[in-house]
Amino acid sequence: MTSFLDRTFDRPAFDPDEQSIMVTGGTGSFGRAFVRKLLSMPKPPRRLVVFSRDEQKQDTMARELRSAFSEDLFGRLRFFIGDVRDVARLELAMRDVQVVVHAAALKIVPTAEYNPFECILTNVHGAENIVKASLRSGVAKVVALSTDKAANPVNLYGASKLAADKIMVAANNLSGDDGARYSVVRYGNVIGSRGSVVPLFQDMLSSGAKSLPITDPRMTRFWITLQQGVAFVLSSLEMMRGGEIFVPKIPSMKMTDLAEAIASGIPYDVIGIRPGEKLHEVMITEDDARVTIELPDRYVICPGFSVLSWNRAHLDTLGAVPVSEGFRYSSDANIEWLSAAGLSTLISSAGATD
């Protein structure tokens, strides 16, 4: 099995040549890395639509990309101000778009717990609007980003993303045999992304902190870099036939080991688990194991029989095998664990935080 440090998730490769691609939440951590990756490919997309609701972030992103890429490549970008809550605006943005990557979401667990109506409007109704707009606009493929918190959710954010996952899978029944196809990508914590504990700890240390806060010394989490996340989405776009939930094979790490790796010898304070948090995260439950297959670098939760005439022949050619009965992919029972050296490598490869 390939080491997670070498796992690039780029087989088979998605070719965006002559396609128009849109990313919602395009000014977020994933969206920025996704856009840079596509513009750097040998055959970049014909048009790349960045859809988000923050004009300041769009302006900053545009200036960064103009200085980083040629005028020809920068000229392929389109910046759309809009909100996934607005289905009419989504339809306008999706005109002449073949591929949509849906990354927009309200993601901070305490914020979602305190503002439940706003979380539902963005994460659940937003997913519904993506489906409606893409069906009306002739989009060919939609991949939605999910989270490990969507499996057996204990907080509103996870529950809203589980609902969004269900909406995306079921959308394949609305599009007919020759309409759009919808799939989901589910992964864990992203090193270097906005809100990640790694830059939080680094900022605290640079400000002179003498200890680091740990919610529970038993806590574990899955970890992936932004670059790996982008590559995983691109390869899943190529593999998808509609209805799959793609889950990457990524390492786990105890939060105490993470704190020690970032600041060796610095003590930590146990502050207790916050409302809506789990000790360990799960990406595939025992119930989902019955329809889950394994590939060298990922798992695929296959859609139910209700999704058109879906079959796994395209995955079998890549070496797919069913997982064992009762299989559960959780951060505490993972077979891959991240060492301090491995974390340093991932942080280095993650680049600057945003």
Cα dihedral sign for 140, 92, 163, 223?
positive
Sorting pLDDT into bands at 50, 70 and 90, what band is 17?
confident
Residue % of the chain over a pLDDT of 90: 67
Closest CA to 249 of 218, 292, 197: 292
**Residue pLDDT, tens place only, 76-126:** 999 999 999 999 999 999 999 999 999 999 998 889 999 999 999 999 999
Q: Which residues are 45's β-sheet partners?
A: 17
For residue 353, what pLDDT is reported? 40
For residue 305, what pLDDT is reported? 64
Would you please indicate which residues are annotated as catalytic (active-site) residues? 149
Sorting pLDDT into bands at 50, 70 and 90, what band is 351?
low
Q: Reduced to 3 states, what is the DSSP secondary structure of residue 310?
A: coil
Sheet holding 298-301, edge to edge: 77-81, 47-52, 20-24, 99-102, 141-145, 181-185, 245-248, 298-301, 292-295, 321-322
Q: What is the crossing angle of helices 55-68 and 29-40, to 10°? A: 30
pTM: 0.93
Closest CA to 268 of 254, 250, 249, 287: 254
Can you point out the beta strands (E) in the chain? 20-24, 47-52, 77-81, 99-102, 141-145, 181-185, 189-191, 212-214, 220-225, 245-248, 252-254, 268-270, 282-284, 292-295, 298-301, 321-322, 329-330
**Residue pLDDT, tens place only, 34-63:** 999 999 999 999 999 999 999 999 999 999
For residue 352, what pLDDT is reported? 40
The architecture CATH gives domain 20-188+224-249+282-331: 3-Layer(aba) Sandwich (3.40)
Q: What is the mean pLDDT of the chain?
A: 91
Rounded Cα distance between 351 and 354, Å, is: 10
Sorting pLDDT into bands at 50, 70 and 90, what band is 354?
very low
Amino acid at 115: N
Q: Which residues are 222's β-sheet partners?
A: 252
**Section 139-146 average pLDDT:** 98
Residue % of the chain over a pLDDT of 70: 94
User: For the chain, which residues make up each domain, given as ranges?
Assistant: 20-188+224-249+282-331
**Residue pLDDT, tens place only, 189-206:** 888 676 678 777 888 888
Cis peptide before 267 (omega within 30 of 0): no
